[in-house]
Chain A
Amino acid sequence: MHIEIDQDRCCASGQCVLTADDIFDQRDEDGVVTLLDDAPGDADAQARAEEAAALCPAGAITVRA
């Protein structure tokens, strides 16, 4: 799995961090998404990454198999 984020699009909702704070973080200065792990290995983390992408209101998270 490979995760990509679009920081321009992100509206700093925090939905991704709420779902997977081991994979996503928010920048201190403006809450914009950052990636802690762009290729999570285990199945549980992958499922949460997919859930985060589905919940992201801005469509700023892309998950590729």
Chain B
Amino acid sequence: MTDTALSDSTHSTDSTDSTDSTDSTHGAHGPHGSRVTEGAPHPSYPFSRAAGCPFDPPPEFAGLREREPFSRVQVFDGTPAWLVTRYQDQRAILADDRFSADALRPGFPPQSPGLEARRKSGKPLSFIAMDDPDHNRVRRMFTAYFSVRRARALVPRLSEIIDGLLDGMEAAGPPADLVSSFALPLPSLVIAEILGVPRSDHHLFQSRTKVLVSRSASGEKSLAATNELTDYLGGLVDEKVKNPQDDLISNVAAAHLPTGETTRERLAQDAMLLLVAGHETTTNMIALGTLALMRNPDQLAAVRDAEGPAQIAGAVEELLRYLTIVHTGRRRVAIEDVEISGHTIRAGEGVILANDSANRDATLFDDPDDLDITRPNARRHLAFGQGTHQCLGQNLARQELQLAYPALLRRFPALRPAIEERDIPYKHDAVVYGVHELPVAW
């Protein structure tokens, strides 16, 4: 995926460009100033993490929070933006209607070059890049499927899927790649069932989504997979119109196609957003979260041996805070002049809200750089964003994680990485942070 799903929201066609853009921003050139555009000598964003600190955000953030909470940066194409590093300022901006999530507005700091192509193509963006009230109107077509009650009702089915995957790992024996054997298939199967992808198509669906999140797939290959999936979902909409079942696509199509509130294309595109936005995120939380626990054996033991759900729920919130895997900032553009904490942002200026920085802000979180699964206020994190774009899938994601970690750790109580720390392939260059693979033994 996806820069795109969680940022520019042009999740479909331009998702492939993401790797290129991020590589050129901080992969090869280092964190600062290597791509200076005339008249805009600002540091390049995103910054790099410090060597040897795979769980900590870039070290620059601490000083910026302290001394320069609104600082100037520029993104890969030279577009300047205000980098906002403090928790309270980010909350204020994300809750403020005077900032737009419309990635096509001039001044919006893009995540990837694909956006330019999208701008020219004239195709609409999905609701992650729309503003209220239109945004909420579209979002509400889907919210019924992601309520707290729905997530709770899924528990038996989620447990069944989890147990099946763990059975597979156990039968194959160690070592296993935790990503491809557990962390990736879980969210993939779950979203397929929610959307209503028939069982006979699961293989096709999973193999294409795997390409989307894979490192080795070329730009062309992942563009092809994206197009195949979008076509597939369009066909699925047609099929569900003819033979409705009790699933998301059938119900949304029945309720909102006849009224003209959505179209076949838009629905396929929004289904693609659900698929893409929920995929790499949940996968990486499972894998990276397990790795973080393996690094903190006492906390791993506490999750494994937890007696009640509250302790596990707390651990999941803390892992979300600590890891903040969506680590290249929420992005917005001001539509009028706005003053935040005495700082003026002018109409047309872009802002980048570094939620990984906010989640380490000591004004809110004590000892913010420590993983502490008993942290009382972990749920205040901004790992799911804030404002009315706050993650639509958060309750589903929470439920998957709350079941996945303890089930995995109980099945394999002695779970450990099967490779050296220095060989772990972290996704430094991706919009959603994590590990490409994680060989484990038990």
Contacts and interface: CB of A to CB of B under 8 A. Distances in A.
Contact of B136 (A11, A17, A28): A11
A38 interface: no
Interface of A: 8-9, 11-15, 17-18, 21, 26, 28-32, 54-55, 57-59
Contacts of B392: 12
Contact of A30 (B133, B140, B380): B140
Lowest 10 A-B CB distances belong to which pairs?
A: A31-B143, A12-B143, A57-B390, A11-B388, A31-B147, A14-B148, A17-B148, A26-B147, A30-B140, A14-B395
A9 to B, nearest CB: 8
B146 interface: yes
Contact of A14 (B94, B147, B379): B147
B95 A31 contact: no
Nearest to B141: A30
Where chain A touches its partner, the secondary structure class is: loop
Interface in B356-398: 379-380, 385-392, 394-395, 398
20 contacts: A11-B139, A11-B389, A11-B390, A12-B139, A13-B390, A13-B391, A14-B146, A14-B151, A15-B390, A18-B398, A21-B148, A28-B144, A28-B149, A30-B140, A30-B143, A31-B146, A32-B140, A54-B380, A57-B385, A58-B387
A22 B137 CA distance: 27
A25 to B, nearest CB: 8
A14 B152 CA distance: 12
A30 B144 contact: yes
Contact of B148 (A8, A9, A26, A59): A26
Given A12-B147, A13-B394, A21-B148, A57 B386 contact: yes
A28 B143 CA distance: 9
A7 B139 CA distance: 14
Residue among B94, B151, B380, B395 with the highest chain A CB neighbour number at 10 A? B395
Contacts of A17: 147-149
A33 to B, nearest CB: 10
Interface string B130-174: 000100100110011011110100000000000000000000000
